[in-house]
Structure 1
Amino acid sequence: MPSAALEKELAAFKALKTDLFHKDFLITWEHKLDEIKAILTLAEALKQIHQEGLSYRAFESGLAISIFRDNSTRTRFSFAAAASALGFTLSELDEEKSQIAHGETVRETANMISFMAEAIGIRDDMFLGEGNKYMREVGDALTEGTQKGVLHRRPSVINLQCDVDHPTQALADLAWLKKHFGGLDNLRGKKIAMTWAYSPSYGKPLSVPQGVIGLMSRFGMNVSLAHPEGYGLIPDVIDVARKQAAETGGSFEVVNSMEAAFENADIVYPKSWAPYQVMQRRTELLKVSDKDGLKALEKECLANNAKFQNWECDRAKMNLTRDKSALYMHCLPADITDVSCKAGEVSAEVFEQYRIPTYNEASYKPFVISALMFLTRLSDPAAKLEQIVRRAKPLSI
């Protein structure tokens, strides 16, 4: 018999309307609120199924292809876990060992790998203005291949982080907030501080903070974005967050003080990123393979970062938060002072206090990715979920 918790998640999921079948998932704010809620509810249901030692295998076959154009640990293994749990076979495309390295086009590669593929997960976050564009080019190639009869079915493209958004991370973050505060409605009026923090490295993507403000601003939260002057995000994403906050009864502000953002915050998310203008310059230099220019830019940026070493999440700043006990969040790995670096984003004391909660935050990602595959590949996901819940098949026989 299904547990009461599973029955509750099933009923909640069946009440939501979604239209994600055979679609891509690239940017959270391009999707309806009910679809976001459905992803969260389904992820929670799948997590509960797995926790109870049951299988949520939904497919007999099919490839789930991952393309990582940047380093990854959590997302790479979460995608692999999701593929396995659903019944797909994982295949990771190494572009250096494929014909792409010899000039094969995006259009050709996308079709050649997709004859029996169901989902393609892509991480392409290094080049501003290029990553999300590349994902859409892959999607267009798949559409053409399907329309021309090359592909029997068009695989869904899932953004595993680009230059604009990191949807699987932001959705995992939101799933953890939903759990921690007891529901999405309880997030209304909560203050979240998405702040820049010092790192001894440069060039970290903008997509994590952009994903956070682009999603949390849809739930009536008071979003405070903090960074030193000159460390801004993509202006269009700022506009989206401000508009969404106004529409949902929340608020959105940009401040140049970490302390101001932490003041009475319920949630803090201190994370380093490279300034928008720097990422623009970096992309231009990378396009022309200007190694000397890149070295000069790195030297300049590291020197500028060093001016803001006091932008660290320490005990004094945490004491500014609501009841001195805001929830600390991070996409991981964090730059931890005196642990992973001499000076970093967060003090060792604060990180150790919240280390297990950040692991809990990360634990939602395989189930979020599972939910995205489930919703984009099934015409009646509610019926399939009910079938899975009713059969209650153990993970091991």
Structure 2
Amino acid sequence: MEKDAVKKYLELLNPFLLPTYISQLKDLKLNRMYGNDFFLTWEKTKDELDAVWIVAEALRHMRENNISTKVFDSGLGVEIFRDYSPRTRFSFASACNLLGLSATNLAEEKSRLASGNIARETANMVSFMADVIGVRDSKYIGKGNTYMHDIADAVTRGYDEGILEQRPTLINLQCDVDHPTQTMSDMLHLINVYGGIENLRGKKIAISWSYSPTAGTPLSVPQGIVGLMTRFGMNVVLAHPEGYNIMPEVEVIAAKNAKISHGSYTLTHNIEEAFKDADIVYPKNWAPFAMMEQNSKLYEQNNYNKMNILENELKAENAFYKNWTCTSDLMKTTNNALYMHCLPVDITNVSCEHGEVDAAVFDKHRKQLYKQASHKPYVIAAMIILAKFQDVPGLLEKLANSNIPRKM
């Protein structure tokens, strides 16, 4: 990376240069973010994505320097987690707390939602004092993103009809299509590591399937990576065994993005080819798109017996690809690559007999993995602020000038 670019970026990280962040925001077109939701990264403009990263950095450095970032005096952040995820749940709760909101969890399994209450009633009943709703629903193809839009449409109608005093913003905390809070955090990590987003142009990133003894996780992380990072001139390589495809429509988006950004998007069924000379590697497990589609159909039919059979079949198929794992020898073929993962990760001879990564690789990159994860609360908080406040530069300026300490 260029020394001047790194120096310039490090200067921007100075917490006493908050006016720089504010000035950067003033140059961006952000009108569409106010009063809107965050579903998929490729629905946002580059200005809107840049704004999330700038606000996230500003919030981090205000907190690190004991400046209060509470922009709400009261209000709720409602989390609806239809999938289990302590990391994203904690990040959402942290983001709400950072801004002055109280996070509250709607446990579907302990409510009448488990008996079939629909999104319209769910949305309005939890939104009387809510400013944001975070939804995670990623297990079934065609379900998660649709459910989120149903929630968003319902609160819009509730607000328009005067039932709700404010329209809560919806944040996608992972759906069947994308995981925007994760991939936006991943990109912010890369921006920090390489000293600016301009230095990512031309970098090779390999997002690769890797073996896990589990049946497979959702497709939204690899889809989110190829959907976002192709927009910034990176050379994105997707690697997986034959049959472990992601959604074809997301691949179309990735190819289009790469053409516009003068980067590249390629597919390989060879993990060694993907890792060779890579600057960044992101090996993780996922379930094949065809299996996810089949599983969703069985779910609609309440055919849990066949779902279990399908899961066992996939585990057996996965076992043919135990060599698809991130080893120290494989890492030696890279360009001293940065190892990334959304966590948790299956570590060979630690959490399982054969996993996604060798213990030596994980231990070498542990510090950077934790830093990667640390961006998510700030990214979520930035998404909330940009949706709830019309003049975000003015808001940050007010926070900076007030200099109210976070702790007395």
TM-score, normalised with respect to structure 2: 0.95
Q: Cα distance, 1:286 vs. partner?
A: 1.7
- Which residue in the other structure is 1:363 paired with? 374
1:235 aligns with 2:235: no
Give SS of 2:94's match: helix
Query: Alpha carbons of 1:3 and 1:286: their partners in 2 closer, same or farther (altered >3 Å)?
Result: closer
Separation in structure 1 between the aligned mates of residue 321 and residue 114 of structure 2, nearest angstrom: 40
- Which residue in the other structure is 1:17 paired with? 29
Separation in structure 2 between the aligned mates of residue 81 and residue 161 of structure 1, nearest angstrom: 17
- Which residue in the other structure is 2:278 paired with? 265
- Which residue in the other structure is 1:38 paired with? 51
1:382 aligns with 2:397: no
Deviates more, 1:286-295 or 1:330-339: 286-295
State how 1:97-136 maps to structure 2 within 5 Å. Answer: 97-136=110-149
- Which residue in the other structure is 2:262 paired with? 249
Separation in structure 2 between the aligned mates of residue 29 and residue 298 of structure 1, nearest angstrom: 31
- Which residue in the other structure is 2:192 paired with? 179
Q: Which amino acid aligns with 2:251?
A: I
CA displacement 1:300-343 (0-9 Å, x = unmatched) = 11111011000010011101111xx1000000001100111100
Separation in structure 2 between the aligned mates of residue 102 and residue 240 of structure 1, nearest angstrom: 37
Give SS of 1:217's match: helix
Separation in structure 1 between the aligned mates of residue 309 and residue 24 of structure 2, nearest angstrom: 54
Indicate if the aligned counterparts of 2:133 and 2:171 stay in contact, CA closer than 8 A: yes
State how 1:126-165 maps to structure 2 within 5 Å. Answer: 126-165=139-178
Where does the alignment leave 5 or more consecutive residues of structure 2 unmatched?
1-13
Find 1:306's aligned residue among 291, 294, 319.
319
Where does the alignment leave 5 or more consecutive residues of structure 1 unmatched?
none
Q: Which amino acid aligns with 1:14?
A: K
Q: Which amino acid aligns with 2:360?
A: E
- Which residue in the other structure is 1:282 paired with? 295
- Which residue in the other structure is 2:216 paired with? 203
Find 2:91's aligned residue among 78, 90, 106.
78
Deviates more, 1:11-20 or 1:220-229: 11-20
Separation in structure 2 between the aligned mates of residue 150 and residue 294 of structure 1, nearest angstrom: 40
Indicate if the aligned counterparts of 1:145 and 1:151 stay in contact, CA closer than 8 A: yes
Give SS of 1:90's match: strand
Separation in structure 2 between the aligned mates of residue 291 and residue 96 of structure 1, nearest angstrom: 17
Q: Which amino acid aligns with 1:17?
A: K
Q: Cα distance, 1:5 vs. partner?
A: 4.1
CA displacement 1:15-50 (0-9 Å, x = unmatched) = 222121110101000011100000011101111111
Indicate if the aligned counterparts of 1:5 and 1:48 stay in contact, CA closer than 8 A: no
- Which residue in the other structure is 1:7 paired with? 19
Give SS of 1:218's match: helix
Q: Cα distance, 1:361 vs. partner?
A: 0.2
Quote the sequence identity (%): 48
Separation in structure 1 between the aligned mates of residue 136 and residue 163 of structure 2, nearest angstrom: 25
Indicate if the aligned counterparts of 1:172 and 1:362 stay in contact, CA closer than 8 A: yes
Indicate if the aligned counterparts of 1:263 and 1:320 stay in contact, CA closer than 8 A: yes
Give SS of 2:205's match: strand
Q: Cα distance, 1:291 vs. partner?
A: 2.6
- Which residue in the other structure is 1:92 paired with? 105
Separation in structure 2 between the aligned mates of residue 367 and residue 388 of structure 1, nearest angstrom: 16
- Which residue in the other structure is 1:341 paired with? 352
Find 2:405's aligned residue among 382, 394, 397.
394
Separation in structure 2 between the aligned mates of residue 148 and residue 3 of structure 1, nearest angstrom: 43
Q: Cα distance, 1:54 vs. partner?
A: 1.8
Indicate if the aligned counterparts of 2:276 and 2:334 stay in contact, CA closer than 8 A: yes
Q: Cα distance, 1:380 vs. partner?
A: 0.9
Q: Which amino acid aligns with 2:231?
A: R
CA displacement 1:133-175 (0-9 Å, x = unmatched) = 0000001111111111111221111000000000000000000
**Moved beyond 4 Å, runs of 4+:** none
Separation in structure 1 between the aligned mates of residue 128 and residue 317 of structure 2, nearest angstrom: 49
Q: Cα distance, 1:12 vs. partner?
A: 2.1
Q: CA RMSD in A?
A: 1.1
Separation in structure 2 between the aligned mates of residue 102 and residue 341 of structure 1, nearest angstrom: 36
Give SS of 1:307's match: helix
Give SS of 1:268's match: strand
State how 1:39-58 maps to structure 2 within 5 Å. Answer: 39-58=52-71
Separation in structure 2 between the aligned mates of residue 174 and residue 66 of structure 1, nearest angstrom: 24
CA displacement 1:75-129 (0-9 Å, x = unmatched) = 1011101101101111111112223234322111211111121100000011111
CA displacement 1:154-200 (0-9 Å, x = unmatched) = 11110000000000000000000000000000000000000000000
